[in-house]
Amino acid sequence: MTALIFTLATELRQRVDLSPLTPDSLAGKSIEEIGATLLQTGNRQRRADEIFVIEGNDTSHIKVQNSTAKLDYIGKGMTHGDLYVAGDAGSYAGMSMKGGNLRILGDVGAYAACEMKNGQIHVQGDAGDFLGAALPGNKKGMQGGIVIVKGNAADRVGDRMRRGAILIEGDAGCYLGARMTAGTVAVLGSVGEHIGYAMQRGTLLLLQAPSSIPVTFNDCGTHTLGFLPLLLRGFQEFETRFGALAGSIKRVQRYAGDMANLGKGEMLIAV
Amino acid sequence: MIINGVQIDNTFAEAFPMRATRVIITAQNIKWAYHAARAMSGFATSVIACGCEASIERELDAKESPDGRPGIAVMIFAMGGKGLAKQLETRAGQCVLTSPTAALFAGMRDGEPIPLGKNLRYFGDGFQISKRINGKRYWRVPVMDGEFLTEETTGMVKAIGGGNFLILAESQPQALAASEAAIEAMHKIPNVIMPFPGGVVRSGSKVGSKYKALSASTNDAFCPTLKGQTRTELSPDIESVMEIVIDGLSEADIRTAMRVGIAAACGRGAENGIRRISAGNYGGKLGPFLFHLQEIMA
């Protein structure tokens, strides 16, 4: 068994919906059947083998090579297996994912990990807006699993997030954790304005203090919290720098908010 | 059978099915972990009147404990699942939640989950925070020294209670010294506890009583002061008898603990006044698990 490899063979003029190419939907199919899989692109459908050169046969280990930001919905709803993306990914990568590993070597577009329920997403580059968020109009964003971004993340990370962890090793944009109802978002770098806007519950763990604390977050003092080493040690099984912080973050400044909303969220800033 | 001049009676200990759980208490240092653990396992010598049997199983160093602090493993045994859950919750709430710097974690993953912090969280009055870490749910309950961290559930498994053996000696100090040696050796065995004070019980009981209200009463056959007054099991040279009761997760665990304990007691030898090792044999009235002393020591 060798990994099933999709190598992008044409220059895309339209965006392509790659959601049919997951370990779940390809399981048990021959390479001919896989090649005949119809992919939505623009206002029409094209066979997968018109867009990709397809090799290999292990549908639980899939690689997308020469990937570009025009490939949307990569790994949507997958429940198991590994999906490796060599290059960038478009929007909605890992949307509603329920298990398995999605690894993206480049950047991801907007709404990556949106409404994700379980599994692991690893982004080597940067992430677009609404990482781990809810789709517009929906009430629950990410509901489980872990997302690791080695680069930076744009605005609205964890918008309406419900559970799980998002670990950003670079910087994060504005409205980090906005409207969060639970879960953990941690950022090693700097964060933008309006952090925790309308946050109800959940934890924002920051290694660098934001330029300004929102007026609707109240200072609860500096503390040694017993759960933090446990939480950070829990990240040691993943490929992230956060696991190494278990012994180094001793104390945190705790802010509770958003007091204009439920006010049971917290912003923990390492001191 | 004679070991080091000590007679091993051809009899058996009789034990009964129980339910058991294990929790881990950690604290800022081992002293405060012990404070919480001793409180939690206090007044838990016998299910006859305490509702459960509990004791410290062992110490955990910082590397073994869930949160990297010194810890203590406590095991609790009860006659049924509901009773165990109730005892666990009450004891966790009054003895660990209250103890400075203490945190409380599951000590076993097997079996049926029973609430640990699941209901204690309500002490937080709405300020409690849930965290799911590596598939396990924890609760952070705000308390006056900071936060009480507890896992939501721990495991409950089928277990065995009432494994035992008796040390018969020429004097009370000699019986106690042999009992202490046995307990010290048995504390190194995992999955068992000896729930009586210091692991030793001097008031072994028989099933039933002349008083209808009592389900158990003094084991008169082994009371040295009644040698001339009742159908005694004691020879004239026996002046004191002490019992070690063992609760364990499996028959094998209890057998191992009994073997180690009896060997340590016999290690004191006849020259130190240890004459016989016997066991609480209730003629099948107490329970289905039989631990034959001579088989165990063979």
Q: pLDDT of A43-65, one tens digit each?
A: 999 999 999 999 999 999 999 99
CA angle B106, B107, B109 (to 5 degrees): 75
Task: Say how far apart CA B292 and CA B281 lie, in whole Å.
Answer: 10
Q: What was the pLDDT predicted at A249?
A: 87
Which residues in A lie closer than 8 A to residue B133 (C-beta atoms)?
227, 230-231, 234
Last residue of some domain: B126, B157, B188? B157
Q: How large is the average pLDDT for residues B1-22?
A: 95
pLDDT digits (tens, 9 = 90+) for A93-108: 999 999 999 999 999 9
Task: Say how far apart CA A142 and CA A131 lie, in whole Å.
Answer: 9
Task: Indicate if B152 and B258 belong to the same structural domain.
Answer: no
Evaluate whether residue A264 is within a structural domain: yes
**Residue B282 confidence (pLDDT) above 90:** no
Task: Indicate if B48 and B125 belong to the same structural domain.
Answer: yes
Structure tokens at A124: 């080597």
Nearest CA-CA partner of B241 in B275, B267, B211: B275
Residues B103, A226: C-beta atoms closer than 8 Å: yes
Residues A227, B66: C-beta atoms closer than 8 Å: no
pLDDT digits (tens, 9 = 90+) for B144-159: 999 999 999 999 999 9
Q: What was the pLDDT predicted at B73?
A: 98
- The alpha carbon of residue B27 is apart from the nearest alpha carbon of chain A, in Å, by 10
Which residues in B lie closer than 8 A to residue A223 (C-beta atoms)?
146-147
Residues A230, B149: C-beta atoms closer than 8 Å: yes
Instruction: Identify the contact set of chain A against chain B, taking CB-CB distances under 8 A.
Output: 144, 163-164, 182, 184, 201, 203, 223-227, 229-231, 233-234, 237, 246, 264, 266
Residues A226, B146: C-beta atoms closer than 8 Å: yes
Q: Which chain B residue lies closest to A254 (C-alpha atoms)?
A: B146
Which residues in B lie closer than 8 A to residue A231 (C-beta atoms)?
131, 133
- The alpha carbon of residue B106 is apart from the nearest alpha carbon of chain A, in Å, by 14
- The alpha carbon of residue A251 is apart from the nearest alpha carbon of chain B, in Å, by 12
- Is the separation of the CB atoms in B146 and B254 below 8 Å? no
Q: Which of B69, B105, B125, B132 to mutate to test the interface with A (most CBs of A within 10 A)?
A: B132
Task: Indicate if B195 and B173 belong to the same structural domain.
Answer: yes
Based on the structure, what is the number of domains in chain A? 1
Task: Indicate if B25 and B152 belong to the same structural domain.
Answer: yes
**B88 CB burial (10 A radius; 0-12, 13-18, 19+):** buried
Instruction: Kindly report whether the peptide bond that precedes residue A258 is cis, defined as omega within 30 degrees of 0.
Output: yes
- Is the separation of the CB atoms in A206 and A192 below 8 Å? no
Task: Indicate if B204 and B223 belong to the same structural domain.
Answer: yes
φ, ψ dihedrals at A49, nearest 5°: -80, -5
**B126 CB burial (10 A radius; 0-12, 13-18, 19+):** exposed
Assign A239 a pLDDT band (cuts: 50, 70, 90). Answer: very high
Which residues in A lie closer than 8 A to residue B36 (C-beta atoms)?
none
Based on the structure, what is the number of domains in chain B? 2
pLDDT digits (tens, 9 = 90+) for B202-238: 999 888 899 999 888 999 999 999 999 999 999 999 9
Q: What was the pLDDT predicted at A84?
A: 97
Which residues in B lie closer than 8 A to residue A264 (C-beta atoms)?
126-127, 129
Task: Indicate if B85 and B137 belong to the same structural domain.
Answer: yes
Q: What was the pLDDT predicted at B286?
A: 74
Average per-residue pLDDT for chain A: 96
Task: Indicate if B176 and B109 belong to the same structural domain.
Answer: no
Task: Indicate if B95 and B117 belong to the same structural domain.
Answer: yes
Q: How large is the average pLDDT for residues A135-140?
A: 96
**3-class secondary structure, A86:** strand
Helix axes B172-186, B251-268, angle to 10 degrees: 140
Nearest to A227 among B126, B127, B138 (CB): B138
**Residue B283 confidence (pLDDT) above 80:** no
Last residue of some domain: B137, B157, B177? B157
Find the CATH number of the domain harbouring B57.
Answer: 3.30.70.520
Last residue of some domain: B157, B182, B200? B157
Residues B146, A237: C-beta atoms closer than 8 Å: no
Pairing verdict, β A184-187 and A163-168? parallel
pLDDT digits (tens, 9 = 90+) for A204-217: 999 999 989 999 99
Task: Say how far apart CA B95 and CA A164 lie, in whole Å.
Answer: 32
**Residue A38 confidence (pLDDT) above 80:** yes
Task: Indicate if B107 and B153 belong to the same structural domain.
Answer: yes
Task: Say how far apart CA B141 and CA B129 lie, in whole Å.
Answer: 7
**Residue A3 confidence (pLDDT) above 80:** yes
Task: Indicate if B138 and B227 belong to the same structural domain.
Answer: no
Other beta carbons within 10 Å of B242: 25
**3-class secondary structure, A196:** coil
- The alpha carbon of residue B147 is apart from the nearest alpha carbon of chain A, in Å, by 7
Q: Which of A117, A224, A230 to mutate to test the interface with B (most CBs of B within 10 A)?
A: A230
- The interface predicted TM-score of the complex, written ipTM, equals 0.90
Q: What was the pLDDT predicted at A17?
A: 97
Evaluate whether residue A144 is within a structural domain: yes
Q: What was the pLDDT predicted at B153?
A: 97
- Residue environment code for B167-176, b if the CB has 16+ CB neighbours within 10 A, otherwise e: bbbbeeebbb
Query: From the CA atom positions of chain A, what is the Rg in Å?
Result: 19
Residues B66, A230: C-beta atoms closer than 8 Å: yes
Task: Say how far apart CA A135 and CA B94 lie, in whole Å.
Answer: 45
Residues B140, A234: C-beta atoms closer than 8 Å: no
* Residues whose CB falls within 8 Å of the CB of residue A56, separated by 6 or more in sequence, listed in order: A2, A3, A4, A5, A63
Task: Indicate if B188 and B150 belong to the same structural domain.
Answer: no
Q: How large is the average pLDDT for residues A158-181?
A: 97
Assign B281 a pLDDT band (cuts: 50, 70, 90). Answer: confident
Other beta carbons within 10 Å of B2: 10
- Residue environment code for A32-70, b if the CB has 16+ CB neighbours within 10 A, otherwise e: eebbebebbbeeeebebbebbebebebbbbbbbbebbbb
Q: Where in the sequence is the domain holding A246, given as residue range(s)? A: 107-270
Evaluate whether residue A56 is within a structural domain: no
Task: Indicate if B169 and B290 belong to the same structural domain.
Answer: yes
**Residue B265 confidence (pLDDT) above 90:** yes
Name residue, tokens 């190419």.
Answer: A21
Q: Where in the sequence is the domain holding B141, given as residue range(s)? A: 18-157
- The alpha carbon of residue B155 is apart from the nearest alpha carbon of chain A, in Å, by 20
- The alpha carbon of residue A229 is apart from the nearest alpha carbon of chain B, in Å, by 7
Q: What was the pLDDT predicted at A142?
A: 98
Size of interface A-B (CB pairs under 8 A): 44
- Residue environment code for B67-85, b if the CB has 16+ CB neighbours within 10 A, otherwise e: bbbbbbbbbbbbbeeebbb
- The alpha carbon of residue B69 is apart from the nearest alpha carbon of chain A, in Å, by 10
Assign A19 a pLDDT band (cuts: 50, 70, 90). Answer: very high
Q: What was the pLDDT predicted at B139?
A: 98
Nearest CA-CA partner of B150 in B158, B142, B162, B161: B142
Q: Which chain B residue lies closest to A220 (C-alpha atoms)?
A: B146
Which residues in A lie closer than 8 A to residue B127 (C-beta atoms)?
264
